[in-house]
Every structure is written in structure tokens, then in C-alpha cells.
Amino acid sequence: MKSKFSSVILGCMDWGSWRRSFSASEMADLMQHGLSEGLSTFDHADIYGDYSVEAQFGEAFAQSKIDRSAIQIITKCGIQYPCQSRPHSVKHYQYDTDYIIQSAESSIKALKCDYLDAFLLHRPSPLMDPEAIAKAAEHLQSQGKVIDFGVSNFTPSQTDLIQKTTKVTINQIEASLTHLDPFFDGSLDHMLTNNIRPMSWRPLGHVFKDKTEQTHRIHALLGALCEHYGASKDQLLLAWLLHHPAGIIPVVGTTTKERMSAAAGAAKINLSQMHWFQLLVASQGHKVP
């Protein structure tokens, strides 16, 4: 399945107030660098930075003078996140027809991008009505405001619920060498069967964050493989995901040019099947059945 998105996606969650608080010129510089490395897809959600990062990115995009057709923009909706701009009494999800349409149009306006290459339902809600969602998706796609419609963090059955009435082309899930559930719970099988593109958030897992027996085993093997492939550990972790036949696209939440360049290089690594399984075994701590 050929992808219309770059081999690695740049996640913009940490570009704003939740972490780095980049200025518009700094964001524009990162965008330009990403493009120079072949990373043309940028991932957002309306809630990032307490509903502020999309507009900041939009200012940067306008400053950058990058042609709209040169990049792909993904964003998500549905989480009602309690913060100063939305003083809800409780975090919840909202997916009625009018709200989905309003969210997409608000994101397009904030991002200054005319249309969205992909628009995702951020997390599944127990109150999802597939008919209401279908009306919103049909409206947005018929007007050219959304190209691809998808989901995020959905199980196969939740995806099928939406697919009753709306074509789902993307599911953005957590998947990594330390989060193996999608490889064994049917999630990736379901996506392959239904021609749904998997995108992986937190693709490096907890390899660099936690010091456990699992991560110790992984680091030991990665150290040996780095020399073999002439690659860094983070590149090999991305290459491990990229090797999967479902066509997993890692969403890398980096905020530095150096790590952007490294992520782009991961797509050039031809990881062997033997090394793929060695990394799996290092993560699991036991041989495959």
C-alpha cells in the first residue's frame, strides 16, 4: 500500500506550550528542515497546547511560504479537554455531527491550510453514533475540506463500528518495541485486512525513558546492531516498526533538527528479518512460541 504521507511523520504536540513554546519563526525553521529531509507530514490535534498549537503552527506555515501541496497536515478532534479556554467540569469526548464539522473547520482556519490531508477521531467514545459521524465525514469530504478520514486509538471492533458508514483509512495507535499489543491482539491484522494505514505514536516506546530488565536487554542488542547497520539506536527502533508489512508510519515527536534528520535516515535501513525477531525476543524476554 503506497503512502501519500512521508515515511516518518513529525508530531507537533511538544512544539507549543506543553513543552518547548517555539516561536512562529522557530516552527517555520523546523518545518523547512523537515522538508529538506523528506519529512513532509505534520501531525496535530486540536487539544495540543491547550488548544493553541494549531494556530501557532498556522502562523509559522504562513511565514514559511511553503506551498500547501508540498506538505501533508493531519489533525484530530473529539477530546473535550478541561483548560482555561474550555472550562469543562470533566474531560470527555464529543462526536456529534455539528461538532465534528465545526472542529475540522476550526482546525483548517487555525492551521491556515485550506484543507486537511487527514482528519482523525482522537479517541473512541462509548457514545459514538456511526450515523452522526458519517454525516460529518460526508459533508467535510464532499466540500474538499478533508481528504482522508480516520481514527486514533481505536480497537478493531470500534473501527468496524465507524466503517459501517464511513471509510476509515488511518488508525493512529501506540506501537513500539516496548508496546507490542498491536502485533498480537489483531489490531495490525485488522488494518492489513481492511487497507487501513497504521500510524504509531510514541514509536520509540520507553527504551530511553525506563531502566528495566526489558530495556537493558534491548539496549544491549541495539548496541551490537548499531555497528552492523551504521545507525543509531533510535533509528533502529524506527526501522523495526517500518519493517512491518502493514506499513506502519512512526509519528516522531522530536523538537530538534538533529533527531529529525536521524528519523529520516531510519527509512533507509533495511533491517533483516533475523534482527527483527532478535529485537522482539529482547523485548519479550523469551523466545517466540
Locate 288 and state its grid cell: 517466540
For the chain, the average pLDDT equals: 97
Query: Distance between CA 158 and CA 163 in Å, rounded?
Result: 9
Mean pLDDT for the stretch of residues 131-138: 98
| pLDDT attached to residue 189 | 98
Interacting residues of 275 by C-beta distance below 8 A, sequence separation 6+: 225, 228
Q: Which phi and psi angles does 222 have, rounded to 5°?
A: -60, -40
Say if strands 79-80 and 92-93 run parallel, antiparallel, or are unpaired: antiparallel
| pLDDT attached to residue 40 | 98
Query: Distance between CA 80 and CA 280 in Å, rounded?
Result: 37
Is pLDDT of 84 > 90?
no
**Domain 9-209+235-270, CATH among 3.20.20.100, 3.30.360.10, 3.90.1170.50, 3.30.70.141:** 3.20.20.100
Mean pLDDT for the stretch of residues 141-162: 98
| Structural contact between residues 217 and 282, judged by C-beta atoms closer than 8 angstroms | yes
Q: What percent of the chain has pLDDT over 90?
A: 98
Q: Which phi and psi angles does 84 have, rounded to 5°?
A: -60, -35
| pLDDT attached to residue 2 | 63
96: burial class by Cβ within 10 Å (0-12, 13-18, 19+)?
middle
Mean pLDDT for the stretch of residues 110-127: 98
H-state helical runs in the chain: 24-36, 48-51, 53-64, 97-111, 130-142, 156-163, 181-184, 187-193, 213-229, 233-242, 257-266, 273-284
User: DSSP class of residue 152?
Assistant: E
Locate 171 and state its grid cell: 488508525
Mean pLDDT for the stretch of residues 106-129: 98
| pLDDT attached to residue 289 | 92
Q: How does pLDDT run across 49-67, given as a tens digit for each residue?
A: 999 999 999 999 999 999 9
Q: How does pLDDT run across 257-271, given as a tens digit for each residue?
A: 999 999 999 999 999
Q: How far is CA 116 from CA 44, 68, 204, 247, 280, in A?
A: 11, 10, 27, 21, 36
Among the listed residues 190, 185, 146, 144, the one whose alpha carbon sits nearest the alpha carbon of residue 171? 190
| pLDDT attached to residue 3 | 77
93 is catalytic: no
Query: Distance between CA 285 and CA 287 in Å, rounded?
Result: 7
Query: Distance between CA 11 and CA 252 in Å, rounded?
Result: 5
Domain ranges of the chain: 9-209+235-270
47: burial class by Cβ within 10 Å (0-12, 13-18, 19+)?
buried
| pLDDT attached to residue 85 | 87
pTM of the model: 0.96
Instruction: Write the Ramachandran bin of 58: left for phi over 0, alpha for psi from -120 to 50, otherwise beta.
Output: alpha
Which residue in 48, 51, 93, 229 is the catalytic one?
48
Say if strands 170-174 and 249-252 run parallel, antiparallel, or are unpaired: unpaired
Is pLDDT of 276 > 80?
yes
Say if strands 116-121 and 197-201 run parallel, antiparallel, or are unpaired: unpaired
Identify any residues that bridge with 146 across adjacent strands, giving them in sequence order: 116
Q: How does pLDDT run across 207-260, given as a tens digit for each residue?
A: 999 999 999 999 999 999 999 999 999 999 999 999 999 999 999 999 999 999
Neighbours of 5 (CB within 10 A): 22
